[in-house]
Amino acid sequence: MFTYYGRMTPNALDKLRTFFRSNGRMPTFRELARLWGFRSTNAVAKLVRKLTDTGALVRDRAGRLALADPFSSVRLLGAVEAGWPSPAEEELADTMSLDEWLVRNREATFMLKVQGSSMTGAGIMPGDVILVERGAPAREGDIVVAEVDNAWTVKYLRRRSGRMVLEPANEAYKTIIPSGELNIAAVVKAVIRKY
Amino acid sequence: MSRAILHIDGDAFFASCEQARNPELRGKSVITGKERGIAASMSYEAKARGVTRAMPLGQIRQVCPDAVILPSDYETYSLLSKRFFDIVRRWTPDVEEYSIDECFADITGLRRQWRASYRDIAASITDRLAAELGFTFSAGLAPSKVLAKVASKWNKPHGLTVISSRRIAGFLNDLPAGKVWGIGPNTEALLAKHRIMTAGQFARTPFSWVKAHLTKPHREIWYELNGESVLSVSTVQDGPKYSIQKFRTFTPPSRDREFVFAQMSRNIENACIKARRHRMAARGAYFILRSQDFRHTAVEVSLTAPTALTGPIIAAAREALPSLFKEGTAWRATGVVLTDLITDDDRQPDLFGAHVAVERMRRVYEGLDSLDTKYGKHTVWLGSSHLAQVRERHAGERGDLPERQMLALKGENGRRRLAIPMLMGRQAA
């Protein structure tokens, strides 16, 4: 069952209900301004008036604001206008989480905490966490994690006179030209720095 | 129709998890299980040096002085185990997670979908596992689960062995009957009495004899060895748990009654957390103590009302303690098994009106569980578990933490870490 309270108000009401549920009291006008994104309490008063007019908000005997149905379990999908719903939740189906954005192949993704400054030119700083994908095809120009002398190394994969080499992004470091087979363990997919 | 069953087994799984994330360990004798004082898993290099499963650390240092002995990092192993199963599921939904490092997969009928022979499907699965996880797996392909398990062991590590219906005999003729999955020492001895020494001889024994002398599980093995699949690949993932058990070893062993009880109390807390997570309630419980010389005392109790709340079960354990705990004995482990589980929804309130108080306790535990969800396991604990919580579980070097747990990223803490395995070890300039 939907109750029609007027345009724009379901969202405001939802926020109000959430506040009420988590704090166990109604917000002040100042808090409402923050909640609804208004700069002035005058704008708050206007919307409050509208909500009391439509019956969504009521005033108790002392004149304090109260929700008409504080625990409404109906999730309003936006107001219905001219027969067309504006289904806010359906729109959210086309969004993704940070996880999904950063990780392509979940099973093959590992992290590595970067040591050393050989890739600072590529924006990879010591202490950064990089997300790397094992078993992904490494192409020229990719930043890769290779295994050199029983250690990891993070470098650009480049081709120099017909052979693949590991190139740093910092002039103070030398390009690594592998003597034997180049062992690439993973391809770098993202850098994360948490402050 | 003949089935195509795959059994996939991680090669030296725990040790391989360690070697795959740290190139410094490549080619070295790596052993996990430091915290238990015995080898839990050893790399192929260590196996070649004569290190065997459950060998004590002191002995390992004798036969293999350069061994790298690491504390188990079960968190990382579990993450990689889950990935292992998820990768196999890309090819078929019928995957049975048999243990942390092995699974069965039914790939019957998938040749057309993947435009490949069964052998090629098996090969692509193990190739992707090795490429994405960084260590090798062995696979066996056969018309039944029992034969697939024979096949995966045939050529380890990194092997793929196919047992086709026509070539079964060649694999079973020299295989001791006791090596077959599901044939234990007792059955092996019984078979030996009747001059059945190998899996091949068992498979060729007329079924009338098998029916007369053995029970259903072994009759099934007989069918399976003859290439007829009767054991299906069970895909139930984390389904209903019919019993929940929590065991914990601590070192050094203790003669202290209150400390031992605190260990038991901690196990009960853990078991109850798990029961509540699965919405189960126990009607009975076993309490078990294990002494230093591996003797056990155990008591079974039945609970007045089904419960997943820690309080009543700890009270029952307290009552059982005098018959479990012997003064002067050094104890090394405690355990609890919650039995007779029912789903929490179809519980009946008990007749004496205690359910009001129970309901109140339930709300308390709901609060505790949400604290654990938010801040990690054991954010708060019962006073009865306190001694077990504050004392290091293992004294001395056996108390070493896995390296990953000491390498906290910003925002991680001692209790909660990112669910992504971390590459570790030296980095070259």
The distance from CA B224 to its chain's CA centroid, rounded to whole angstroms, is 24
The region of weakest confidence among A142-156, B261-275, B337-351 is B337-351
CA distance, residue B159 to nearest chain A CA (Å): 19
Contact A108 B409 (CB under 8 A): no
Q: Is the dihedral of CA B53, B56, B58, B63 positive or negative?
A: negative
Q: Does A190 touch chain B (CB under 8 A)?
A: no
At residue A1, the pLDDT reads 37
At B179-202, the pLDDT tens digits run: 999 999 999 999 999 999 999 999
Q: State the pTM of this model.
A: 0.72
CB atoms within 10 A of CB A1: 4
Check: complex ipTM more than 0.85: no
Phi then psi dihedrals of residue B357, to 5 deg: -65, -40
Contact yes or no for B427 and A115 at CB 8 A: yes
Tell if the CB–CB gap between B426 and A113 is shorter than 8 Å. Answer: no
From the list A134, A173, A176, the residue facing B131 with the nearest CB is A134
**Residues of A classed as catalytic:** 118, 155
Per DSSP, B350 falls in state P
Of A112, A134, A135, the CB nearest to B422: A112
Can you read off the two tokens belonging to residue B220? 């099934």
Provide the shortest C-alpha distance from residue A110 to chain B (in Å): 5
The count of other CB atoms within 10 Å of the CB of residue B192 is: 13
Long-range contacts of range A59-68, CB-CB < 8 Å, 24 or more positions apart?
A: A64/A26, A65/A26, A66/A26, A67/A16, A67/A17, A67/A20, A67/A26
Answer yes or no: do B429 and A194 touch at CB < 8 A.
Answer: no
Q: B24: exposed, middle or buried (C-beta count within 10 Å: 0-12, 13-18, 19+)?
A: middle
Q: Are B231 and B216 contacting, i.e. CB atoms less than 8 angstroms apart? A: no
Distance in angstroms (rounded) separating the CA atoms of residues B81 and B133: 10
Alpha helices in B134-215 (DSSP H): 145-154, 168-172, 185-193, 199-204, 207-213
Q: Which residue of B has its CA nearest to A134?
A: B132
What's the pLDDT tens digit per position in B131-157? 999 999 999 999 999 999 999 999 999
pLDDT one-digit tens code per residue, B83-115: 999 999 999 999 999 999 999 999 999 999 999
Give the CA-trace dihedral at B216, B222, B224, B225, to 10 degrees: 160
Preceding omega of A27 cis (within 30 degrees of 0): no
Interface residue A102 vs chain B (CB under 8 A): no
User: Band of the pLDDT at B237, cuts 50, 70, 90?
Assistant: low
Is residue B86 within 8 angstroms of chain A, CB to CB?
Answer: yes
Q: Does A173 touch chain B (CB under 8 A)?
A: yes
* Structural tokens at position B268: 């009960």
B378 pLDDT above the threshold of 80: no
pLDDT at A81: 52
Average pLDDT on B382-386 reads 87
Report the distance separating Cα B106 and Cα A96, nearest Å.
Answer: 33
State mean pLDDT over A52-77. Answer: 71
Residue A76's pLDDT band (cuts 50, 70, 90)? very low
Q: Kindly list the residues from chain A whose CB atom is less than 8 angstroms away from the CB atom of residue B91.
A: none
Question: Nearest-CA residue of chain A relative to B76?
Answer: A110
Q: How many angstroms away from the CA of B88 is the closest CA of chain A?
A: 11
Minimal CA–CA distance to B79: which of A143, A110, A105, A6?
Answer: A110
Q: pLDDT digit string (tens) for A105-139?
A: 999 999 999 999 999 999 999 999 999 999 999 99
Chain A residues inside the 8 Å CB shell of B75: none
Nearest to B161 by CA among B152, B170, B169: B152
Lowest-pLDDT range, A134-143, B16-25, B351-360?
B351-360
pLDDT of residue B43: 97
- Cβ contact, residue pair B23, A105, below 8 Å: no
Length of chain A (residues)? 195
Question: How far is B292 from A64, CA to CA, in rounded Å?
Answer: 69
With CB atoms and an 8 Å threshold, state whether B420 touches A131.
Answer: yes
B308, B280 contact by CB (below 8 A): yes
Using the 8-state DSSP alphabet, how is residue B348 labeled? P
User: What single letter denotes the amino acid at residue B37?
Assistant: G
Catalytic, out of B18, B96, B97, B102: B102
pLDDT digits (tens, 9 = 90+) for B196-225: 999 999 999 999 999 999 999 999 999 999
